[in-house]
Chain A
């Protein structure tokens, strides 16, 4: 039974396309059983094909392909050092900033290659926001933090417009009620969970299309984590979200799609429900049941 399923370690390779007839998309969609249940997810937003990443001599990703749907949360899980964060950072070309890093393969966002010479990484990052593991607000006021993106991208033409943007971003990040009376207090003075929501507000203030989250809750307590997860669930309605997480439970709670990474490869991709209840791969099963990781 297993031998048959091991067939494609990369679930969404281009060769998988013909079998994807069950889904509502024309392009490179879910090939395997169970994916027909994907109703409610948006069309494919990002399509990564055969991504290889090298840090100097060391190869971190060995040809990873993954389709990421819009208006959904895609979780990347896997043991430490499996390449999930590396993959995440290729999606907004943050690896460009790492000396000695090299990315091969094709990543299409809305059909356009983001690694194309014509694509400016600065503009790409305005479309693809990112939230990091450790909350990293700028050592400035709460207002300044959220206003930073709109300011550098020239999204607000007046002061009142900027204030509106900041307010709506903070509201959508569920932080407005807690900070409305101290917008000019330093952002670094907030609690860890509040800082992380501030950082999310900062990211959504520029109206990105995609939000990448690199273990956003690993430094937070359970209550703050619950708040962030709630927020992620709300944001799903508007954005394409990719989240790297160490917590299987979190992946199960917040995501609709899950990709399991291991040693620089994707072992299995599928609807989150399927991955956690009925994994096709032995290694996936071992990982989600805690036998290694």
Chain B
């Protein structure tokens, strides 16, 4: 009886002890779960802050204002043979002053102030009209023109009256003029199509991303066409064919080290090899793509090798035992099974290449390339270097455009990643 009692006592003491331990174990588990959630929350918060600040800075770049005024094409000032020689901005500004009943001083400072509200694009718009239709000389026609970046900044509320007049680029008088033009309804806000249809320009209101987007796309095409096949074949050879000896060990170590080399070093290599030695055209998407391909190679090789390694050896055995040659085994079985991993690695390194700036600066992509070039061997732009150039520009209107360019770059990346996911799904569904 007593025996049994002491036994039960011992059992219950043991159970108590276990229970106490169990409590600690559950607590640890719960703590760990919360750490995990916390980490995710922090990461999401940073992402949200980043995106919000970019969107808040950049959304204003997606709309713009234009001004429509009646313009008297003064025969005394326009040379029909050479219309682009005419100072249309001055002419329009003076006519507008008259229309508003403002008398200018002897220096013409009021006309200058008015002219500064108009974009220099006005000259080209007007000259084009005259050239197309010389009969317009002597007539009064309505002309629509972008506003200058300073006027634009005031209309978007980025320059305000709170700033002392001597510290801002728009004077009280100019502000008053803009307000009155706006109340007359001749200033209209609309989508900033120039941002997507034009190349770079020194005038922010005329600057667009298309040149850089095309440049980046060309460059990535070159990178993908070179880096993916070369990287995949190199990885296949190293993983499936290469003998395990000192030479391949050295190659392996070097590839792993290359993945960690700063990208600016690749830029230097690109200058030395492609530009100075091979005399390929500077700042061209061809050279940019080659440099980025060099940079992407190690990543692609490493990703491909690890996904080849992850293919179960039983599949290799199965194919070899069926009398498949090594090449049939690799290309018929192992590589297709590794394909989702290969694609993920490739797309990630492509996305990296897309955002890479430092090597592009070294090969000359920092230079100002106006207009749009779709040639692979002519100087072109790239989105990240355009962002760098714009961020460093002094005109305030470039800052919102920088943020807009970042948003476009992000969209580019999202499209690429979505393509990667779609491709992966397709390849996986086959099995």
Contact B321 A129 (CB under 8 A): yes
Stretch at the interface among A21-29, A118-126, A165-173: A118-126
Residues of B within 8 A of A123 (CB): 323
Tell which of A125, A138, A149 touches B315, judged by Cβ atoms closer than 8 Å: A138
Which of chain B's residues 372-406 have a Cβ closer than 8 Å to chain A? none
Residues of B within 8 A of A140 (CB): 431
Minimal beta-carbon separation of B329 from chain A (angstroms): 9
Chain B 309-333 near chain A by CB (<8 Å), digits 1 or 0: 0001011111111111100100001
Q: State in angstroms the CA–CA spacing of A139 and B321 once bound together.
A: 16
Interface residues on B, range: 10 to 19
Q: State in angstroms the CA–CA spacing of A110 and B15 once bound together.
A: 70
Residues of B within 8 A of A134 (CB): 314
> Given A138-B333, A139-B431, A140-B431 in contact, is the A149-B322 Cβ separation under 8 Å?
yes
For residue B99, CB closer than 8 A to chain A, the reply is no
For residue A55, CB closer than 8 A to chain B, the reply is no
Residues of B within 8 A of A132 (CB): 314, 317-318, 321
Residues of B within 8 A of A16 (CB): none
> Given A138-B333, A139-B337 in contact, is the A202-B322 Cβ separation under 8 Å?
yes
In this complex, how many residues of chain A approach chain B with their Cβ under 8 Å: the count is 29
For residue A238, CB closer than 8 A to chain B, the reply is no
For residue B244, CB closer than 8 A to chain A, the reply is yes
For residue A247, CB closer than 8 A to chain B, the reply is no
Residues of B within 8 A of A137 (CB): 318
For residue A115, CB closer than 8 A to chain B, the reply is no
**For the complex, would chain B's binding face be called helix, strand, loop or mixed by DSSP majority?**
helix
Residues of A within 8 A of B325 (CB): 122
> Given A132-B314, A132-B317, A139-B337 in contact, is the A203-B322 Cβ separation under 8 Å?
yes
Contact B337 A125 (CB under 8 A): no
Contact A153 B431 (CB under 8 A): no
Contact B323 A126 (CB under 8 A): yes
Residues of A within 8 A of B312 (CB): 136
Which of chain A's residues 175-220 have a Cβ closer than 8 Å to chain B? 186, 188, 199, 202-203, 206
Stretch at the interface among A61-69, A92-100, A273-281, A282-290: A92-100
Q: State in angstroms the CA–CA spacing of A233 and B321 once bound together.
A: 22
Contact A122 B431 (CB under 8 A): no
Q: State in angstroms the CA–CA spacing of A276 and B358 once bound together.
A: 76
Residues of A within 8 A of B322 (CB): 125-126, 129, 148-149, 152, 202-203, 206
For residue A162, CB closer than 8 A to chain B, the reply is no
For residue A130, CB closer than 8 A to chain B, the reply is yes
Contact A99 B323 (CB under 8 A): no
Which of chain B's residues 287-341 have a Cβ closer than 8 Å to chain A? 312, 314-325, 328, 333, 337
Q: State in angstroms the CA–CA spacing of A265 and B117 once bound together.
A: 98
Q: State in angstroms the CA–CA spacing of A186 and B431 once bound together.
A: 7
> Given A99-B244, A138-B315, A140-B431 in contact, is the A122-B337 Cβ separation under 8 Å?
no
Which of chain A's residues 100-147 have a Cβ closer than 8 Å to chain B? 100, 122-126, 129-130, 132, 134, 136-140
Which of chain A's residues 25-41 have a Cβ closer than 8 Å to chain B? none
> Given A138-B333, A139-B431 in contact, is the A94-B323 Cβ separation under 8 Å?
no
Residues of A within 8 A of B319 (CB): 138, 148
Minimal beta-carbon separation of A62 from chain B (angstroms): 25
Q: State in angstroms the CA–CA spacing of A125 and B321 once bound together.
A: 6
Contact B323 A152 (CB under 8 A): yes
> Given A138-B333, A140-B431 in contact, is the A206-B323 Cβ separation under 8 Å?
yes
Minimal beta-carbon separation of B397 from chain A (angstroms): 56
Query: Which residue on chain A has the smallest CB distance to residue B322?
Result: A149
Most buried by A among B317, B319, B321: B321
Contact A94 B320 (CB under 8 A): yes
Residues of A within 8 A of B243 (CB): 99
Contact B316 A97 (CB under 8 A): yes
Most buried by A among B315, B317, B325, B328: B317
Tell which of A125, A136, A148 touches B314, judged by Cβ atoms closer than 8 Å: A136
Binding site for B on A (CB under 8 A): 92, 94, 97, 99-100, 122-126, 129-130, 132, 134, 136-140, 148-149, 152-153, 186, 188, 199, 202-203, 206
Binding site for A on B (CB under 8 A): 243-244, 312, 314-325, 328, 333, 337, 431
| 30 A-B pairs in the complex with CB atoms less than 8 angstroms apart | A92-B321, A94-B317, A94-B320, A94-B321, A97-B316, A122-B323, A122-B325, A125-B323, A129-B322, A130-B321, A132-B321, A136-B312, A136-B317, A137-B318, A138-B318, A138-B333, A139-B315, A139-B337, A148-B319, A148-B322, A148-B324, A152-B323, A152-B324, A152-B328, A153-B323, A186-B431, A188-B431, A199-B318, A202-B318, A203-B321
